[in-house]
Chains A and B, each alone.
Chain A
Amino acid sequence: MLKLEEVHTYYGNSHILQGLSFSVSEGKCTALLGRNGAGKTTTIHSIAGLTPPRKGKIYFEETKIDSAPPYRIARLGIGLVPQGRRIFPSLTVKENLTMPAREPRKQTRDKKWTLDEIYELFPALKEREHNMGNQLSGGQQQMLAIGRALMTNPHFLLMDEPSEGLAPVIIEQVGDIIRMLKENGLSILLVEQNLFLACSVADEVLVMNKGQIVWQGSPQELLANEEIQHRYLGV
């Protein structure tokens, strides 16, 4: 469904993604792991069009998206839950959800998300719908960031460290949500530092180091491979 071929992304002169290739299949959750600074966010941003690659190709379904502007990529059905949540503080909780709302691009078996359904999934957001976006706890902001992306009715979700800075109970809740989204037919690329969250929801795991994929396998294989965990994830 999503395919990266030999992607090279730079910040100015620093060469961050150094020939990155991988693919994510439809209806699956693929986890991308790696240490701080490995280039995970840069990968997400390269797919989303925020840091377009200088070389290489990215395909979403049949469309080549590596030189498309971010809004086009989003309209193709790629939703972004960014690192650090990036909730709009000048919008109310409700506006954060309704402002980007759009219909699904094509009719699929995917669930169609509406404001009511987001509120049903995250009742805490409904209670605070008139609060400003920054008047929420970290966990609620994460729910809002997920809800906001779902309101664009994507077919593919990019999630960048959704467990960052959250209490264990909330992390479990994030895991439940990801499994539920997958059951609804959404394909997900999940960037994580939390090995156990990633392995509990992912169908496949990619390990990244210095801008390249250095290991690839199933969650069970990774959990059994202490050398990889130690060398690339610092566990």
Chain B
Amino acid sequence: MDLSILFVQIITGLAYGMLLFMIAAGLTIIFGLLSVVNLAHGALFMIGGYFTFTFINQHLNFWLALLISVILLAILGMLIERFLLNRMYGKELEQVLLTFGLIFIFTDLVKWIWGSSPKSISIPPLLDASLTIGVVTFPVYRLFVVVVGCAVALLLWYIESRTRIGAIVRAGVDDRHMLSSLGINFKLVFAGVFAFGAGMAGLSGGLGAPILGLYSGMDNDVLILSLVIVVIGGLKTWKGAFIGAILVGMVDTLGQVWFPSFSMVLIFALMVFILLIKPSGLFGKGVDA
């Protein structure tokens, strides 16, 4: 393999990693505050992609279509939290059944509305180009996705550590009852965080569609990888998910180039390896071996 192809694969791996990061970050933040593993998060990603596809077919430009999809996904997340999940706090089994059940509902709805043949979105014209530096040619859109992923990470860092909302969410993770005794309605915070996570999944789905295409079963692919990322990174930390997502995105992409039938095995080997060294995950707090 020559250098140019290797670089393209690396960028592709990074871009995929960033898409996974936006999903996994939502999973970890929701898990951290609400103690809920949202198994339907992959389905939200998929819906984000299909929404974007539909709005583009309605002759909206890509960016507007993406924006509307993100907002709709946030609203969908808010509805799921307010009307379904809020009855099930503290009941793990019910949460698993609910979010697992939502996967079936959403995947069937997608098949019903959009059919089961794969769809594709073309790369927005502005970014449909290649950038050549020396002998290496980079696909610009993938680079752009990497930049967006880093920008999301930066935004999360800023919100978490520099804003009052961030402090409220951290305090809610520490002691939500004390938080409410200080006059803060944590139900609203829960709904907001879930909506934010769903919006990020939608962003990932819309941004990813031009690269990955749209097909039934795509939700499952990203859900499994995102759960692996969450475990690798250390459950309640989106910072861990950032590193975990880069690792998993690279291993998955390069693995498919070099060992096409083993890429999933490689990812689980990576997970086992990291957990052997650090059982609580890369950035996890808690008992270490």
A90–B184 contact, CB under 8 A? no
Minimum distance in angstroms from B74 CB to a CB of chain A: 23
Contact of A98 among B164, B177, B179, B184 (CB under 8 A): B164
Is B173 in the interface zone, CB < 8 Å from A? yes
B174–A48 contact, CB under 8 A? no
Cα A212 to Cα B171 with chains together (Å): 34
Minimum distance in angstroms from A41 CB to a CB of chain B: 13
B174–A100 contact, CB under 8 A? no
Cα A29 to Cα B254 with chains together (Å): 70
A82–B170 contact, CB under 8 A? no
Q: In residues 108-155 of chain A, which contact B (Cβ within 8 Å)?
A: 148-149, 152
A152–B167 contact, CB under 8 A? no
Q: In residues 148-201 of chain B, which contact A (Cβ within 8 Å)?
A: 164, 167-168, 170-171, 173-175, 177-186
Q: In residues 40-75 of chain A, which contact B (Cβ within 8 Å)?
A: 48-50, 69-71, 73-75
Minimum distance in angstroms from B169 CB to a CB of chain A: 9
Is A80 in the interface zone, CB < 8 Å from B? yes
Minimum distance in angstroms from B24 CB to a CB of chain A: 21
Contact of A70 among B164, B171, B181 (CB under 8 A): B181
Is A203 in the interface zone, CB < 8 Å from B? no
Q: Which residue of B lies closest to A77 (CB)?
A: B183
- 7 nearest A-B residue pairs (beta carbon): A100-B182, A74-B183, A70-B180, A90-B170, A99-B167, A88-B171, A80-B181
A48–B183 contact, CB under 8 A? no
B170–A100 contact, CB under 8 A? no
Q: Which residue of A lies closest to B165 (CB)?
A: A99
Q: With A88-B178, A98-B164 in contact, is A71–B184 under 8 Å at CB?
A: yes
B177–A50 contact, CB under 8 A? yes
B174–A89 contact, CB under 8 A? yes
B174–A99 contact, CB under 8 A? no
Seen from chain B, the residues whose Cβ lies within 8 Å of a Cβ on chain A are: 164, 167-168, 170-171, 173-175, 177-186
Is A164 in the interface zone, CB < 8 Å from B? no
Q: With A71-B186, A89-B174 in contact, is A82–B181 under 8 Å at CB?
A: yes
Cα A131 to Cα B164 with chains together (Å): 17
- Which residues of B are found within 8 Å of A197, using beta-carbon distances? none
Is A6 in the interface zone, CB < 8 Å from B? no
A88–B175 contact, CB under 8 A? yes
- Which residues of A are found within 8 Å of B174, using beta-carbon distances? 88-91
Cα A148 to Cα B179 with chains together (Å): 11
Is A86 in the interface zone, CB < 8 Å from B? yes
- Which residues of A are found within 8 Å of B171, using beta-carbon distances? 88, 90-91, 99
Q: Which residue of B lies closest to A75 (CB)?
A: B183
- Give 25 pairs: A residue, B residue, CB < 8 Å, sorted on A: A50-B180, A50-B181, A69-B180, A70-B177, A70-B181, A71-B183, A71-B184, A71-B185, A73-B181, A74-B184, A80-B178, A80-B182, A82-B178, A86-B175, A88-B175, A90-B173, A90-B174, A91-B174, A98-B167, A99-B167, A99-B171, A99-B182, A100-B184, A149-B182, A152-B183
Q: Which residue of B lies closest to A92 (CB)?
A: B167
Minimum distance in angstroms from A167 CB to a CB of chain B: 25
Minimum distance in angstroms from B182 CB to a CB of chain A: 4
Q: Which residue of A lies closest to B170 (CB)?
A: A90
- Which residues of B are found within 8 Å of A100, using beta-carbon distances? 182-184
Minimum distance in angstroms from B177 CB to a CB of chain A: 6
B181–A48 contact, CB under 8 A? yes
Is A35 in the interface zone, CB < 8 Å from B? no
Q: Which residue of B lies closest to A100 (CB)?
A: B182
Minimum distance in angstroms from B236 CB to a CB of chain A: 11
Beyond the given A50-B177, A152-B182, please list 11 additional residue pairs across the A-B interface where CB-CB is below 8 A.
A49-B180, A70-B181, A71-B184, A71-B186, A75-B183, A80-B181, A80-B182, A82-B178, A82-B181, A90-B171, A99-B164
